[in-house]
């Protein structure tokens, strides 16, 4: 069963990494997974939260950063060293068929920290703001999914890596968002009034 799952994962990786290859994606996907590309979004969030929520906005930002730190620690420092799955672009038995668009890196592959971190941050924002702004759900998920998809497309992660990272991130983001709301049940972000 594990062999079949690995084969399915590799086949899906090839379908995305090679099968969907085109000049536009070759330009776009490395940008989507680059943290500096999203700097304007992070700056917008900081300004928006501080301007609209003042002191509470600062507290939201602290929880936002805490969510990132917890997720990154679990994915990169606990799970990856325990699993030790090679990245597709580093696997000697597999890398010949990988179209690498960025430097492969030396770290392990499972789970994707990019996926876990961005799904955690997205889920944290969804948990806090969904009752006020329903549109945050599709936007936050599209953001995290696009980054995760880009990780596969550029050749540094298998689909199962980003899927597991997404699940881990959603769980952590939901927990930190729920803890935040239990400590700060403010109507401004919880009820939409």
pLDDT at 57 over 50: yes
Dihedral (C-alpha) 64, 178, 114, 152: value to the nearest 10 degrees?
A: -150
- What pTM did the predictor assign? 0.90
118-145: pLDDT as tens digits: 999 999 999 999 988 899 999 999 999 9
Per-residue pLDDT, 28: 95
Averaged pLDDT score across all residues of the chain: 90
| Structural domain boundaries in the chain | 2-190
Please give the pLDDT value at position 64: 95
Q: Does domain 2-190 have CATH number 1.20.144?
A: yes
């Amino acid at each position: 069963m594990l062999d079949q799952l690995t084969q399915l994962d590799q086949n899906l990786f090839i379908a995305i990494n090679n099968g969907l290859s085109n000049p536009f994606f070759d330009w776009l996907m490395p940008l989507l997974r680059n943290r500096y590309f999203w700097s304007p979004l992070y700056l917008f969030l900081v300004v928006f939260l501080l301007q609209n929520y003042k002191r509470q906005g600062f507290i939201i930002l602290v929880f936002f950063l805490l969510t990132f730190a917890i997720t990154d620690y679990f994915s990169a420092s606990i799970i990856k060293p325990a699993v030790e799955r090679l990245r597709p672009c580093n696997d000697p038995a597999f890398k010949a068929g990988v179209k690498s668009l960025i430097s492969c890196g030396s770290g392990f592959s499972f789970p994707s920290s990019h996926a876990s971190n961005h799904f955690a941050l997205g889920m944290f924002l969804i948990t806090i703001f969904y009752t006020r702004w329903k549109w945050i759900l599709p936007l936050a998920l599209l953001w995290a999914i696009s980054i995760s998809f880009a990780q596969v497309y550029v050749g540094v992660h298998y689909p199962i890596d980003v899927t597991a990272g997404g699940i881990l991130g959603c769980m952590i983001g939901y927990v930190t968002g729920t803890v935040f709301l239990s400590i700060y049940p403010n109507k401004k972000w919880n009820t939409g009034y």
